[in-house]
Structure 1
Amino acid sequence: MFFVYPAPAKLNLFLHITGRRSDGYHLLQTAFQFIGYYDWLTFKLSLNRNIVYTPLSNIPKERDLVYRAAQLLQKETGYSQGVELSLYKNLPMGGGLGGGSSDAATVLVALNDLWKTNLSVVELSELGLRLGADVPIFIYGHAAWAEGVGEKLVSINPKEAWYLVVMPPVQVSTEEIFSADELKRDCRSITIADYIEGKGENVLEPIVCRKYPIIGEVIYWLSQFTLTRMTGTGSSVFGLFDTKQKALEVLKKMPTPWKGIITKGYNESPLQDYLSKSKDKILK
């Protein structure tokens, strides 16, 4: 019997870098919202302790976030059984949609559910932070204002708008962007009230667009129709719309080499919604 769980994408509705810690991690302010676009993971429980997983890329599984998440939960809880894992990838790598972090979070949340290890959201988030700064938001499961390295979360409820998300055919290296000399690391801190009033931007856009000109082309094109931002370090770019129909009208005008999707924003993670529908998780 297989169990299937989604790993949803996120958008950074804005992104400021406010400083840098002594260990090299950047301090930030951002607002996260989920969208209806997913990777999928399947789980088959086993009686032995083996974690069976073949990464989609060529990296060793010991460096793959899916495998590491399962291994970490098993180690920290002392759980005596194993699992066979498969990942079905839709979210682009290097796309700024949080795919790898979301995959890791779904493994932690799903196995905590299936193995009955009964860790709290706080405990799972602490494990997730050891895997990556964006992992906790996917465990937290609600749209959030984030500070610190992304782990200090406060629930917010931005408008659940419709988005046209454009995914240029490039992968952006997060490490490359955050290590750039020209990165602005001293943004003035803003408040949630400031954000609601419309303040905030993605301060990484100028650097990313210089290094990957096609992303600048996407931003320029989409901004002719609506408020447009890059999510995370890119490469994906999103435009905000009041209705699905308006988003579809712009999608029809999109240059053909680019890939775009229409999706709704969600303040509750689709993973949390999925967890409440246990009968839908089973593939026999």
Structure 2
Amino acid sequence: MNCIKIKAPAKLNLSLDITGQREDGYHLLEMVMQTIHLYDQITLEKSNEISLECDCPDIPCNGKNLAVKAAKAFFHATHLDGGVKITLQKRIPHGAGMGGGSSDAAAVLKGLNRLYHTPLSTKQLDKIGLKLGADVPFCLHGGTMLVTGIGENLLELQDMFPCWFVVAKPEQGLSTVEVYQAYDALEEQQMIRPKTNGVIQAIYEKDLETLSRSMANVLEYAVPLQEIAEIRQTMHQHGAYIAQMTGSGSAVFGIFEQEEDAKECAVSLSQTYQQVYVCKPCKK
């Protein structure tokens, strides 16, 4: 086998709370995360060197790309004298807080482990992934999970109950580093923080009302984009139980019980925003 194809799903943060900060500057997080049926498509071919081709001109194809970093980390960890040609069909919005780069990196790690028939365990892949980014370990697993620490502590939850997500991204993307810096610079204020246990309970009880009352993302306080509020308002007008920013933004998602309502909302948002998606949650 010299070539494989693998899907890299996007993620949403059903909740995101910052519980502290380590001495090295890393933020301590408490998040309930969910993969969705929106994918980048990655093709891996054995090669003598590491290279990347991407159909999105905004994505760097050099050593700054997480997929390339993942390939380098894989060959360093396995001590293999090999390479890979990575072909990336980009569908997950860039700068959206949807984990596109992290999911690509996770897909490359899993794919190379299969392509080169190496025996790296899930725990070993998680360890490599964490050095690449806080979201990579989760993206290696997917489904519905509670993620804590700096992204290294993963607890598998029950699969998200059937529902529909509408995701809309403003034209302006956001830098994760800059959003966290803006959060750190905020003056003390009363934030609406997620009730993480309530989110988890709602998932197990398939209770959309409780879920909507428990969800929140504290990083929204650090993002002053007017479009986020406008997207949320449109989603609520079309029947979303909850609408909030995912990750460090700038994408916003709403949760709908009925497919028809979700599609009507997407049509309305598409009149203003180019990147609008209707998705279902992925199962483990």
Q: Pick the TM interval, shorter chain.
A: 0.7 to 0.9
Post-superposition shift, 1:135?
Answer: 0.3
User: Aligned partners of 2:188 and 2:7: how far apart in 1?
Assistant: 35
TM-score of the superposition, structure 1-length normalised?
A: 0.85
List aligned pairs for 1:1-284, cutoff 5 A: 2-46=3-47, 48=48, 50-54=49-53, 57=58, 59=60, 61-157=62-158, 158-180=160-182, 181-182=185-186, 191-193=196-198, 195-196=200-201, 197-198=210-211, 199-208=214-223, 210=224, 212-224=225-237, 225-226=239-240, 227-254=242-269, 256-258=271-273, 259-268=275-284
User: Aligned partners of 1:114 and 1:183: how far apart in 2?
Assistant: 49
Post-superposition shift, 1:53?
Answer: 2.3
Q: Give 3-state SS (helix, strand or coil) of 1:159's partner.
A: coil
Q: Which runs of 5+ in 1 are unaligned?
A: 269-284
Post-superposition shift, 1:217?
Answer: 1.4
Q: Which runs of 5+ in 2 are unaligned?
A: 202-209
Per-residue Cα deviation, 1:163-195 (whole angstroms, up to 9, x for no partner): 111111110111111011017799879553564
Contact 1:18-1:185 at 8 Å conserved across structures: no
Matched residue, 1:280: none
Contact 1:45-1:83 at 8 Å conserved across structures: yes
Per-residue Cα deviation, 1:234-275 (whole angstroms, up to 9, x for no partner): 11111111232221122233251213111101132xxxxxxx
Contact 2:234-2:265 at 8 Å conserved across structures: no
Per-residue Cα deviation, 1:194-237 (whole angstroms, up to 9, x for no partner): 642442311111321x2x21122112221232111111011111
Aligned length: 264
Post-superposition shift, 1:130?
Answer: 0.5
Match for 2:171: what amino acid? P
Q: Give 3-state SS (helix, strand or coil) of 1:63's partner.
A: coil
Post-superposition shift, 1:75?
Answer: 1.1
Aligned pair in 2 of structure 1 residues 116, 177: CA closer, same or farther (>3 Å)? same
List, as ranges, runs of 4+ consecutive aligned residues in structure 1 with deviation greater than 4 Å: 54-60, 183-191
Aligned pair in 2 of structure 1 residues 148, 13: CA closer, same or farther (>3 Å)? same
Per-residue Cα deviation, 1:11-30 (whole angstroms, up to 9, x for no partner): 00011111111111111111
Contact 1:30-1:145 at 8 Å conserved across structures: yes
Aligned pair in 2 of structure 1 residues 44, 247: CA closer, same or farther (>3 Å)? same
Aligned pair in 2 of structure 1 residues 2, 184: CA closer, same or farther (>3 Å)? farther
TM-score of the superposition, structure 2-length normalised?
A: 0.85
Contact 2:134-2:150 at 8 Å conserved across structures: yes
User: Aligned partners of 2:152 and 2:128: how far apart in 1?
Assistant: 11
Contact 1:184-1:203 at 8 Å conserved across structures: no
Contact 1:41-1:86 at 8 Å conserved across structures: yes
Could you say which structure has the greater relative contact order, defined with CA pairs below 8 angstroms and 6 or more residues apart?
1
Aligned pair in 2 of structure 1 residues 95, 184: CA closer, same or farther (>3 Å)? farther
Post-superposition shift, 1:64?
Answer: 1.6
User: Aligned partners of 1:186 and 1:104: how far apart in 2?
Assistant: 36
Per-residue Cα deviation, 1:95-138 (whole angstroms, up to 9, x for no partner): 01100000000000000011111111111010000100000001
Contact 2:11-2:34 at 8 Å conserved across structures: yes
Match for 1:266: what amino acid? C
